[in-house]
Amino acid sequence: MLPATRHRALLQHLANSGQAGILELATALGVSDDTIRRDLKHLEAQGLLIRSHGGAVLADMHALPRTARDAVLPDVKEALGRAVAEAIPPGASLMLDAGSTLLAVARALRGPHRVVTHSLDVAQALSTRPEITLVLAGGEWDARQRLFRGPATVDTVRRYRVDLAILGACALHPRHGLTATEAGDAEVKRAMLACSDAHWLATDHLKFDTLAPHAVAPLDDFTRLFCDLPFKTELPAGLTQTALDTTGEPTQ
C-alpha cells in the first residue's frame, strides 16, 4: 500500500472511531506497528491528528486550514458531491458554498446551470465548462479558508436571485443549526440563503453535534440534508435526509 493511500485509510479509520491505538491501526491497515508510528508522526506534523500514548485522535477540524481538512474523508466527500449533483434539477441556477464537499459537487455538476460562488476552487473547477454560466463573488481573499469574503463579496451575492443554495457545514447542531468558524464566511452563507428559493446542506458526519461561533441558519431553513451517515437527532418536519449507504450511493 502506497503511503498516501495508507494515510488516507488511517484518517478514515480515525474519522469513524474518533481515536484508535497503534495495534488497532496496524491490524486494520495490515502493516507493522513501526509503520503506523511513522505515519502518525507524519500526519501529526500536518496538523491532522494528535498522537497520544499508544495511539492517536483526530484533530479538531475547526482549527485546521481548508487544505488540511481536504485530506480528511476525501472519498466520502466525492461521493457526497456526486449525490448532490445528481439531485440538482436540470437548468437550475445555484449558489455554491466553499469547501471540499462543494468542490466535489462542482466537479460532478452537469449543466446547463448558472453558478454563483465565493470559492476560488469551485470557480476554477467550473471555469472551462462552456455549459456553466459562472459568477465569482470576489472581495477580500481569505487564504486560510480559500474563499472571498467581506462587503464586496456579499454585495455581489445579493445582486442575484437563484433557485437553489447549496451550503457546506463548519458545524451542525440539532438545536443551534448551521454555524460557521469565521464571521465573514457566515455572512456570505446568510446572503446566499437570502437570495435563493430552496436551501440544501451537504456535510460529513464529523460536523454533526458540533458548534462554531457564528450563526448561519436553523435546521428548519433547509429542505434537504446530504450526509455520509444519518443524523441521529430528529430533524425538522420539512427537512429530508439523504445519507450514503456502504457503497457510497445515496439512500433516503
Question: Is it the case that residue 108 has pLDDT exceeding 90?
Answer: yes
Percent of the chain with pLDDT over 90: 55
| DSSP 3-state of 202 | strand
Show the domains of the chain with their CATH numbers.
3-59 (1.10.10.10), 74-251 (3.40.50.1360)
Got the DSSP string for 65-76?
A: -HHHHTTSSHHH
pLDDT over threshold 80, residue 61 = no
pTM tops 0.85, yes or no: no
Confidence class of residue 19 from pLDDT cuts 50, 70 and 90? confident
CA–CA distance, 37 with 26 (Å, rounded to integer): 9
Q: Checking DSSP bridges between strand 240-244 and strand 250-251, what pairing results, if any? A: antiparallel
What is the predicted pLDDT for the residue at 177?
Answer: 95
> Taking the CB of residue 60, how many other CB atoms lie within 10 A of it?
10
Q: What is the pLDDT of residue 233?
A: 84
